[in-house]
Amino acid sequence: MMQDRAARLQAIIDATDQHIAELLSFGLNDSAKIFAVAKLELQTKLHDISEEELYAFCQLLRRHENAGSADVIDLAERKASKA
């Protein structure tokens, strides 16, 4: 049942990618951004990423935004440690 759910969510994410590309080709950048936010939310559900993990990731990106390099975050390891 979970594999079916995961496959269906992935199909929706893939379709969302196509919609984003089409919206961008029409110059509808704000609409594409809305779809991108929806895609992100779907991906967090698919990969069981908590709001706290997403927030921590965003904070890390902000800190390293101008540094020219980024730390590698092993999300699989973090997920395994939560289990």
What distance in Å separates the CA atoms of residue 45 and residue 13, rounded to the nearest whole number? 11
pLDDT at 41 over 80: yes
On whether both 42 and 71 belong to a single domain, the answer is no
pLDDT at 12 over 90: yes
On whether both 2 and 41 belong to a single domain, the answer is yes
pLDDT at position 71: 59
Residue 43 to residues 28, 55, 62: CA-CA distances in angstroms? 22, 14, 20
- Residue with the bigger pLDDT between 39 and 60: it is 39
- The rounded mean pLDDT for the chain is 87
- Residue with the bigger pLDDT between 11 and 69: it is 11
Q: Packing angle between helix 2-25 and helix 29-46, nearest 10 degrees?
A: 170
Give the domain range for residue 22.
Answer: 1-47
On whether both 34 and 60 belong to a single domain, the answer is no
- Residue with the bigger pLDDT between 68 and 13: it is 13
